[in-house]
Amino acid sequence: MLMRTDPFREFDRLAQQFLGTTGTWSRPSAMPMDAYRSGDEYVVVFDLPGVTPEAVDVDVEQNVLTVKAERRPVAKGDDIEMEVSERPLGVFSRQLFLGDTLDTDNIRAEYEAGVLTLHIPVTQKAKPRKIEVAGVSDHKEIRS
């Protein structure tokens, strides 16, 4: 597999659900994602509903891709009293460890309708190629 995610991230997500800490601002929350290969690139899709494009940061350092996003509270007037607040606010983050066969210099990012889509191309050297097989007689002259 060319991409791996942090194996402890899922444990953190479950702990947050059971302990009810998903709405806090103190630590980053995970964001749901899908990843698949399409031809000569990997596509990674993150759900970030309610996040503005300006609040999304995508960084790659060496082979670690980090996505961070922040959902801020909706501005409220003085006369507004919150009755129910279940939508998580704060910082969301996810890290992917990319394989050496991925071209981190040419990652493309698109954001539309609360969905961040990353296109990560496979390097030329990692693409399958045909290797010509030469016969023995092609390389040396047979002497009697």
Segment 40-49, tens digit of pLDDT: 999 999 999 9
Residue 19 phi/psi, 5° resolution? -90, -5
Residues with Cβ within 8 Å of residue 109, at least 6 apart in sequence: 58, 116, 117, 118, 119
Name the strands in the sheet holding 115-121, side by side, starting at the edge strand that comes first in the sequence.
33-38, 41-47, 115-121, 108-112
Percent of the chain topping pLDDT 70:
73
pLDDT band at 6; cut points 50, 70, 90: low
Of 115, 131, 143, nearest to 44 by C-alpha is: 115
Look up the CATH number of domain 3-74+87-124: 2.60.40.790
Q: Tell me the pLDDT tens digit for each residue of 34-90.
A: 999 999 999 999 999 989 999 999 999 988 999 999 988 877 778 888 788 777 888
Distance CA 16, CA 89 (A): 13
Which residues face 27 on adjacent strands?
none
- Residues found in the chain: 144
- Estimate to the nearest angstrom the gap between the alpha carbon of 83 and the chain centroid: 34
Which amino acid, residue 124? Answer: Q
- Indicate the pTM of the whole model: 0.68
pLDDT band at 20; cut points 50, 70, 90: low
Using alpha carbons only, what angle is made at residue 119 by residues 107 and 9, rounded to the nearest 5 degrees? 95
| Secondary structure letter of residue 77 according to DSSP | -
Is residue 56 within 8 A of residue 48, CB to CB? The reply is yes
